[in-house]
Amino acid sequence: MAQVEEKPGVATRTLKNYIGGRWVEAEGSGVIDVTNPANGELLGQVPMSGPSQVDEAARAAREAFPAWRATPPVERARACFELKYLLEEAKDELATLVTRDNGKAIKDASGEVRRGIECVEVATGIPSLMQGSNLEDVSRGIDSDMIRQPIGVFAGITPFNFPFMVPMWFLPFAIACGNTFVLKPSEQDPLASERTFELLDGIGLPAGVVNLVHGGKEAVNGLLEHPGVDGVSFVGSTPVAHYIYETSARHGKRVQALGGAKNHVIVMPDAELESAVDGVLSSAFHAAGQRCLANSVCIAVGEVYEPLRRANLAVGPAQIEHLTVGELAHREPVFPAGPEIHFSLYRSNTRFGYAACEYSLISPPRIVRRCTRAAVRSAPRWCLIRVGRQFFVRLAHVHGDDRRRIDQRANGGQRLPVGLSERIGRRDDNQARIN
């Protein structure tokens, strides 16, 4: 991560916070450069906001809550419809911002923007989604009613790898339900969030319903500890998720903390080989592996092992362009190499290597080392392997199709503490079901 420092003489744009319906200059401990990972172009500087501006944003959200909570759900949904319309108009601009700011290929960025807009679309259905239920005479003389009510002020703390989509997991649902919201986006790629709030500023929300505060750990701690914040939603690395959860709970907040994971692709004996290989490679290498659903372990079940091994689960420079891998959002060392690290691809012009980070690359990656063919046998089972100018997915073998052995290989056998998903290549649905 770039060093936080005061840069009074740099003639570049410094991002502002959006608090109480106004764009305001940040007050804090300095700025961090926002650069294009592909070419180092300076895109702007993000301020490290201090406790005073976190407090200002939380207070603005708290003051806006009573009136917004009393706004009929259909009117709140109407605001989401207006936001969706503006996002649809700006979808290409947003995808370009994500690519320049984060480094992912434009195809991946466009897909991310589409998924984010779909979240807003779902939130427009809140008049139905928030409906409760009732049952008369659950006991003698007792009726049961269930209602859903807004809670108050929610904070969203979001990661670098999906700078547009993940904020849309939280913000539209929070405001559609009648809550008010403070977003603290990743300081590594905040431009998509800034543009989103420019669009939000144009739909006529009451001041304080949505707020944007840039910053780092100091801003995060300010939100976790602020008495005016009722709940926190977080996506990021597993260690930080633990910290967010523990700190928020200690301060009496509702919290959802989504950490990292590592995943497998399981190829069953009846799988169509060409489709399976394509699935393995796209899962491992798309978005440069910077996503929690990326895999780096392929488990071949039974007789499919040999043809899959001969298929050469590798990707070199030509295929890299075909797979639109893109750039890593961050390359500087953050985590030391250790047993809880997996590997992913990085690319810089014509130089190839591989990078590592805690579990799912939901944190800035670290370039670790380069492998030779002789080192492949001793490489960790959960890593992508580099030999020469190619990258290989580690291939594990399970003899037969015993479900217990497949499950052991996919979990304890690979020493993976957290698993988020498994992708299964098969023709027979019944054969693919693994308990």
Q: Is the per-residue pLDDT at 6 higher than 50?
A: no
Domain ranges of the chain: 17-131+150-258, 263-432
Say how many C-beta atoms besides its own lie within 10 A of residue 403's C-beta: 14
365 or 278, higher pLDDT: 278
CATH 3.40.640.10 corresponds to the domain 17-131+150-258: no
What one-character-per-residue DSSP string does 362-382 give? -S--EE-----GGGTTTS-TT
User: Strands 366-367 and 351-358: what pairing?
Assistant: antiparallel
Strand extents, DSSP E, 53-168: 133-139, 142-146, 153-157
Nearest to 214 by CA among 204, 222, 206: 222
The pLDDT tens digits of the residues spanning 103-119 come to 888 888 899 999 999 99
The pLDDT tens digits of the residues spanning 141-166 come to 999 999 999 999 999 999 998 999 99
Q: Is the per-residue pLDDT at 124 higher than 50?
A: yes
User: Strands 390-398 and 384-387: what pairing?
Assistant: antiparallel
- 292 catalytic per annotation: yes
The pLDDT tens digits of the residues spanning 280-310 come to 777 776 666 677 777 766 777 777 777 776 7
* Active-site residue identified among 177, 292, 357, 371: 292
Name the class of domain 263-432.
alpha beta
> In a 3-state reduction of DSSP, which class is residue 435?
coil
Least confident of 16-25, 55-64, 107-116, 293-302: 293-302
Q: What is the pTM of this model?
A: 0.77
pLDDT at residue 4 in the model: 35
pLDDT at residue 419 in the model: 52
Which are the contacts of 75, defined by CB distance < 8 A and separation ≥ 6?
A: none
pLDDT at residue 237 in the model: 84
Q: Report the mean per-residue pLDDT for the chain.
A: 76
Distance CA 120, CA 115 (A): 9
